[in-house]
Chains A and B, each alone.
Chain A
Amino acid sequence: DAGITQSPRHKVTETGTPVTLRCHQTENHRYMYWYRQDPGHGLRLIHYSYGVKDTDKGEVSDGYSVSRSKTEDFLLTLESATSSQTSVYFCAISEGRNTEAFFGQGTRLTVV
């Protein structure tokens, strides 16, 4: 199994509070991704990183920011959580753009 860990695995937070999710990898892969999974939708890309300090937006990036100060860690921050951000969040890693992707176990976030 690829070494990829998400934390926390579950979180309940109040509307308006900031939340940070962490993705940690031990594979030294260059690419890291944050997706959200909602009923009726396929996974949707929030942000991704192609190297330390190199990040770009995905299709549903509004309300989210990311940071990657080390190869192994990719942080997703909800600056001011809203109920529409209640979702399951998955981190993924890959060696290159066109290589197999490995996914974390997911973080279930509930915003009340």
Chain B
Amino acid sequence: KNEVEQSPQNLTAQEGEFITINCSYSVGISALHWLQQHPGGGIVSLFMLSSGKKKHGRLIATINIQEKHSSLHITASHPRDSAVYICAVLGRADKLIFGTGTRLQVFP
């Protein structure tokens, strides 16, 4: 079993929909990252959080340390949000452990 699990693996939405991507992990962590990867492109850091909630524009990330779970929400989704969203946790020895990503497609 992977130490970082994301769900769903694939997600299709209509423009304007509210989207939730989930990340569960099984190790102790000091921080959790959400990353975005566009097709053929590099990887961009969206959030780094260790507790509570962070918001940036239409993106919201939450983490529940006790439940070992984080969610990434996208409000009023847009086709330009189509990308792979990756969860990564900073585990022991300060090494990042990555999930396999959630592929999101938003259609107009």
Residue numbers of A with Cβ under 8 A of B are: 33, 40-45, 58-59, 90, 92, 97-106
Contacts and interface: CB of A to CB of B under 8 A. Distances in A.
Contacts of B33: 100-101
Question: DSSP class of A's interface residues: helix, strand, loop or mixed?
Answer: loop
B95 A103 contact: no
Contacts of B88: 42-43
7 contacts: A42-B4, A43-B98, A45-B95, A98-B30, A100-B33, A103-B35, A104-B42
A59 B93 CA distance: 12
Contacts of A104: 42
Contact of A105 (B41, B48, B94): B41
Interface in B76-98: 86, 88, 90, 94-98
Given A42-B86, A42-B88, A90 B43 contact: yes
B86 A43 contact: yes
A65 B60 CA distance: 39
B98 A42 contact: yes
A102 to B, nearest CB: 6
Contacts of A103: 35, 42-45
